[in-house]
């Protein structure tokens, strides 16, 4: 590896680090905005409910009619499935990044057998025996 290739690899690593940092702050800002929205909603509900007992009863009927517990469960379930898909894609991306190095290692070492994974990290549909 010459100096130009080394500098190029360093630049790629720095770009990946910046992407990770920006991603973190993006998620943090999104969560903060969600927090502010929920806080504002609870403040408004508290102001409405604090005026009279009948408004508390009306609010309870609204919550019961909307079935918020079912909606919250559905939303959490969808978020869990989405996170699982995101993680799987991340693992495939990581396997794809090291596929070239794995191939070089297996080519140089006759005792290091192949795992048989494709470049994308999937198990091949047909394996040669």
b/e per residue, 26-39, with b = 16+ CB within 10 A?
eeeeeeeeeeeeee
> What's the pLDDT score for residue 115?
64
Q: Is residue 129 one of the residues assigned to a domain?
A: no
d(C-alpha 82, C-alpha 129), whole Å: 36
Residues 76, 23 within the same domain: no
- 25, pLDDT greater than 90: yes
Cβ atoms 96, 121 nearer than 8 A: yes
* Residue 48 lies inside a defined structural domain of this protein: yes
**Same domain? 46 vs 73:** no
Is the CA virtual torsion 91, 92, 97, 99 positive or negative?
Answer: positive
Could you read off the pLDDT of 47-91 as tens digits, one per residue?
A: 777 767 777 787 778 778 878 778 888 999 999 999 999 999 888
Which domain does 7 fall in, by range?
1-66
* 55 and 80 co-located in one domain: no
Tokens of 44: 């408004």
Low-confidence winner among 1-5, 54-58, 81-85, 114-118 (lowest mean pLDDT): 114-118
Q: In the prediction, which pLDDT does 9 show?
A: 86
Considering 20-24, 49-53, 98-102, the range whose residues carry the highest mean pLDDT is 20-24
**What's the whole-number mean pLDDT along residues 2-23?**
88
The model scores a pTM over 0.95:
no
Structural domains counted in the chain: 2
């Amino acid at each position: 590896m010459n100096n130009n290739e080394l500098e190029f690899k360093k630049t790629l690593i720095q770009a990946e680090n910046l992407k990770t940092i920006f991603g973190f702050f993006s998620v943090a800002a999104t969560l903060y905005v969600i927090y502010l929205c929920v806080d504002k909603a609870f403040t408004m509900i508290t102001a409405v409910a604090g005026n009279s007992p009948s408004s508390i009863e009306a609010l309870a009927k609204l919550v019961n009619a909307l079935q918020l517990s079912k909606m919250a469960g559905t939303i959490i379930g969808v978020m869990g499935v989405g996170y699982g898909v995101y993680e799987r894609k991340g693992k495939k991306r990581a396997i794809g990044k090291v596929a070239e190095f794995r191939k070089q290692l297996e080519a140089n070492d006759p005792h290091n057998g192949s795992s048989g994974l494709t470049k994308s990290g999937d198990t091949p549909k047909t394996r040669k025996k």
